[in-house]
Amino acid sequence: QTGKFTYDPGFTSTASCESKLTYIDGDAGVLLHRGYPIDQLAEQSNFMEVAYLLLNGELPDRKSLDSFNNTITRHTMVHEQLATFYRGFRRDAHPMAILCGVVGALSAFYHDSTDITDPHQRMIASHRLIAKMPTIAAMAYKYSIGQPFLYPKNDLSYTANFLRMTFGVPAEEYVVDPVVEAAMDRIFILHADHEQNASTSTVRLAGSSGANPFACIAAGIACLWGPAHGGANEAALNMLREIGTPDRISEYIARAKDKDDPFRLMGFGHRVYKNYDPRAKVMQKTANEVLDKLGVDDPIFDVARELEQIALSDPYFVDKKLYPNVDFYSGVILSAIGFPTTMFTVLFALARTVGWVAQWNEMIADPAQKIGRPRQLYTGPTERDYVPVDQR
């Protein structure tokens, strides 16, 4: 007898939480970090200052900012044994696979900052994760192209250090282009945190069980990888390259509207924004600036802008309130800077580590927090008796 349990209509499993970090108004297209609008932070602040803001709740004064920068800088080097860890991967391993594996292993190297009941250890783990992610990400890239790892340099900014470890080689000094550094830093700010998105919720759920912070961030990286989430930036640029020229856009618009076709416009739509993602506006402006300053004339950017114009005047997208999101233009900039598409989600994870760590700290510090336990609406068979195999 199979039937369905009726369920108590009063039972709801809203997996929501309280947070002071980030506010989103999806209908108005508003994003605030601790009350500051994302466009002001992107245009006037820098990634380390935003990291401090998300972690501590207030913008730092000069002394606090210098001290925070100094602390993060002094955690950028990784345990030498970790370099050996990379050699277990195939050279063609996706950098996100490497990132998942290496970050998940960090608790084996930094077990003196895994006791989540100790606020001092929580702070050390937080600083280590924020500081070491650029080094780990750069090493993943270097390993994939068969080049030697570079050590971080303490006289460089957070973002300049990352660029040098990624694109520099031992044979010659790498000079960081200020245009590239500013664009990269702004992209990090735009990806820093975004309320209770899928990967942040994953980090919180993992953290609610008392798992160590390195394991929690590795869980967030795994979730972010999906093409519906952080993997969309890689998928969006691959889509734009597949379209290739403006005359082919209508073919892809038609596919995106076809209920029987699983194709979705990558970099379009959002679970919360039913208006233009404010980060996408800053990203498009930054793409314009970077391509102009670097003298890059990438036809893909023209395809992206043309596609956006066509989609935003199409009733299907207008009625469903589908707008470009943070992932639509980011790939154009990252490609102009020199990153392969396989590194795009790694860069998203690098930046989102700040938000994940800040959200994890906020949750762990709450004495009332309990283990997450989403419930379900059961729709399976009602109770029935076992039947021996020869009687089935």
What does the binding site for ligand SDX look like in residue numbers (CB under 6 A)?
194, 197, 228-230, 232, 256, 264-272, 320, 322, 325-327
Counting Cβ atoms within 10 Å, is residue 120 exposed (0-12), middle (13-18) or buried (19+)? exposed
Residue nearer to ligand SDX on the CB measure, 54 or 326:
326
CB of 78 to ligand SDX, least distance (A): 26
CB of 327 to ligand SDX, least distance (A): 5
With the C-alpha atoms ordered 82, 85, 89, 94, is the resulting torsion angle positive or negative?
negative
Residue nearer to ligand SDX on the CB measure, 141 or 323:
323
CB of 266 to ligand SDX, least distance (A): 5
Active site residue ranges: 270, 327
CB of 265 to ligand SDX, least distance (A): 4
Residue nearer to ligand SDX on the CB measure, 150 or 192:
192
Residue nearer to ligand SDX on the CB measure, 25 or 177:
25
Query: What are the tokens at 41?
Result: 């932070």
| Helix H or strand E encompassing 32 | strand 30-33
CB of 368 to ligand SDX, least distance (A): 25
Residue nearer to ligand SDX on the CB measure, 241 or 264:
264
Residue nearer to ligand SDX on the CB measure, 45 or 121:
45
Distance of alpha carbon 333 from alpha carbon 278, whole angstroms: 17
| Helix H or strand E encompassing 11 | none
Distance of alpha carbon 248 from alpha carbon 300, whole angstroms: 12
CB of 90 to ligand SDX, least distance (A): 28
For the chain, helix, strand, coil in percent to 5 are: 55, 5, 40
Main-chain phi, psi angles of 206, to 5 degrees: -65, -45
∠ CA 10-13-17, rounded to 5°: 125
Of all residues in this chain, which one has the CB nearest to ligand SDX in the complex? 269
Report the chain's C-alpha Rg in angstroms.
Answer: 22
73 Ramachandran zone, left/alpha/beta (phi>0; psi -120 to 50):
alpha
Distance of alpha carbon 186 from alpha carbon 283, whole angstroms: 9
